[in-house]
Amino acid sequence: MSVNLRPDKYLKYLYLPNIIGTQRTKEILSVNPTVLPVREEAQEVVITAYEYDATTINEKVFDDIKETFPYKNTDKISWINIDGLRKNDVEAICQHFNIHPLLVEDILSVGQRPKTDEVEGVMFCLLNMLYYNATKQTVEQEQISIVLGQNFVISFQEDASRDVFNPLRDKLKMPTSKARGRTADYLCYVLLDLIVDNYFLVMEKIGERIEDLEEEVIRNSNKRSLAKVNQLRKELIVLKRNIVPVRDLLSGIIRSENELLEDRTTKYFKDVYDHIVQAIDLTENYRDMMMSLQDLYINNVNLKMNEVMKVMAIVTCLLAPATVIGGIFGMNFENVPLLSNHWGFWFAMGAMLLIPIWMIGAFKKRGWF
């Protein structure tokens, strides 16, 4: 019988920062815009192009970025999706589609704040797609850049293995879908809408963890519960950092007077704006709940401590009469009352028993326990 050993699963616990969770804190806070991070070249690049109108659609997968160049001069709507970023590929396609070099730097950047820009006839949107890793119980982010031009949309993704655009791909294959009969700005709206909708799926997972943790803290809180509270607070920081700036991004699109945006499409962007505002409110609610959970944990700890101190105080009070009586009859004097009496011992024992019983009744009458 073969045994599959995973030393990495256990060796990580030998490193102290992994035990106390500081490594995740370092990942969250290690964002410095003054330092230019080095992006690693993608090992795998998947280039997919959709060219469509109300009656036809063509889907092609390319290996060379130059094969997408003909989509610039076409009367149909084109969506070029690039999964996996390589500097030469990004620079080549941006140069061909007249995308400004400043936007190229943003596409190749790491850890950028979500934003929107209008430069030389194109509209540029940069934000993050969020995923929930059930194994690590963390929120993962992937930067995506969307370039809207005349009759084309180009999207740049970091990870070639996942995204949230499968519903759009399915809609484009349906002749009766609204996306097939609209312009490129509507395609840009659908991409943003799917990204924002996926935020709610991630927050739903976080909400389930908060509910389970709340029940755990109420029923049986311990140091592990406090560690879980701190971990969830870190994940909420990731959520807030990625969700809140998207409101400004959508607000800039709504206020824009760019010719690439039709008036009838503005109402769709307003709908996404309403969704992101709702997501922000939900994030704030989660944050308040985590603060309440932390206070609840501290209150439970104090309550347990008070219970222990109350029991110890009661026991001390009940033993006090016996201690006093035993001390009196243990004094080295010859003339101690009842010391030589035949019933003296039983009188002392009776007093030691009856006085604590009377004290218990008095404590209960006063509601002390």
pLDDT per position as a tens digit, 154-204: 999 988 888 899 999 999 988 888 888 899 999 999 999 999 999 999 999
Phi and psi angles of residue 82, each rounded to the nearest 5 degrees, phi first: -115, 110
Residue 146 has pLDDT above 50, yes or no: yes
Give the side-chain half-sphere CA count within 13 A for 189: 25
2 within some domain:
no
Q: pLDDT band for position 14 (50/70/90)?
A: very low
Is the domain of 200 the same as that of 308?
A: no
| Token pair of 234 as six digits | 């870190």
Which H or E element spans position 126? strand 122-133
Number of domains forming the structure of the chain = 2
Smallest CA-to-CA distance from 223 within 292, 171, 300 is with 300
What does the pLDDT average to over 272-301? 89
Q: What is the pLDDT of residue 40?
A: 80
Q: What is the pLDDT of residue 268?
A: 93
Residue 233 has pLDDT above 60, yes or no: yes
Q: pLDDT band for position 272 (50/70/90)?
A: very high
33 within some domain:
yes
Q: What is the separation, in whole angstroms, between the first and last Cα of the chain?
A: 60
Of the two residues 224 and 144, the one the predictor is more confident about is 144
Q: Tokens 């997919």 appear where? A: 48
Is the domain of 154 the same as that of 249?
A: yes
Is the domain of 201 the same as that of 322?
A: no
Q: Tokens 């970025």 appear where? A: 65
DSSP-H helix ranges across the chain: 7-11, 16-20, 22-29, 87-96, 101-108, 166-172, 184-220, 223-255, 263-329, 344-366
CATH number at residue 295: 3.30.460.20
Q: What is the pLDDT of residue 35?
A: 55
Q: What is the pLDDT of residue 13?
A: 40
Cβ–Cβ under 8 Å, residues 168 and 195: no
1 within some domain:
no
Cα separation, 154 vs 93, in Å, equals 9
Q: What is the pLDDT of residue 31?
A: 59
Is the domain of 296 the same as that of 332?
A: no
Domain boundary among the residues 300, 320, 345 is at 300
pLDDT tens across 254-265, in order? 998 888 898 889
19 within some domain:
yes
Q: pLDDT band for position 227 (50/70/90)?
A: confident
| Mean pLDDT for all residues in the chain | 85
Torsion sign, CA atoms 151, 180, 45, 29: positive
Domain boundary among the residues 300, 317, 340 is at 300
Is the domain of 150 the same as that of 183?
A: yes
CA dist list (Å): 119 to 99, 161, 269: 8, 30, 20
Q: Note the pTM of the prediction, 2 decimals.
A: 0.78
190 within some domain:
yes
Q: What is the pLDDT of residue 17?
A: 44
Q: pLDDT band for position 15 (50/70/90)?
A: very low
DSSP single-letter state for residue 1: -
Residue 271 has pLDDT above 80, yes or no: yes
Is the domain of 235 the same as that of 319?
A: no
Is the domain of 23 the same as that of 76?
A: yes
Domain that holds residue 76: 7-300
pLDDT tens across 95-136, in order? 999 999 999 999 998 888 899 999 888 999 999 999 999 888
Q: What angle do CA 31, 36, 39 make, to 5 degrees?
A: 90
Residue 19 has pLDDT above 60, yes or no: no
- Alpha carbon of residue 135 to chain centroid: 14
Of the two residues 97 and 39, the one the predictor is more confident about is 97
Residue 338 has pLDDT above 80, yes or no: no
Residue 350 has pLDDT above 90, yes or no: no
Of the two residues 225 and 101, the one the predictor is more confident about is 101
Q: Tokens 């815009």 appear where? A: 33
For 163, residues 6+ apart whose C-beta sits below 8 A from its C-beta are 83, 129, 142, 144, 157
High-pLDDT (> 70) share of the chain, %: 89
Residue 41 has pLDDT above 80, yes or no: yes
Is the domain of 111 the same as that of 249?
A: yes
CATH number at residue 315: 1.20.58.340
Is the domain of 30 the same as that of 87?
A: yes
Domain boundary among the residues 258, 281, 300 is at 300
Smallest CA-to-CA distance from 153 within 92, 74, 42 is with 74
Q: pLDDT band for position 18 (50/70/90)?
A: very low
Residue 214 has pLDDT above 60, yes or no: yes
Residue 354 has pLDDT above 80, yes or no: yes
pLDDT tens across 290-311, in order? 888 888 888 888 888 888 888 8
Cβ–Cβ under 8 Å, residues 130 and 205: no
Which H or E element spans position 148? strand 138-149
Q: What is the pLDDT of residue 38?
A: 66
Residue type at 128? N
High-pLDDT (> 90) share of the chain, %: 40
DSSP single-letter state for residue 112: P
Give the side-chain half-sphere CA count within 13 A for 224: 3
Is the domain of 49 the same as that of 149?
A: yes
Residue 79 has pLDDT above 70, yes or no: yes
Is the domain of 177 the same as that of 48?
A: yes
Of the two residues 316 and 331, the one the predictor is more confident about is 316
Query: DSSP of 16-80, one letter per residue?
Result: HHHHHTHHHHHHHH---TTS-PPPPPPS--EEEEEEE-SS-EEEEEESSGGGGGGGGS-SSEEEE
Cα separation, 233 vs 227, in Å, equals 10
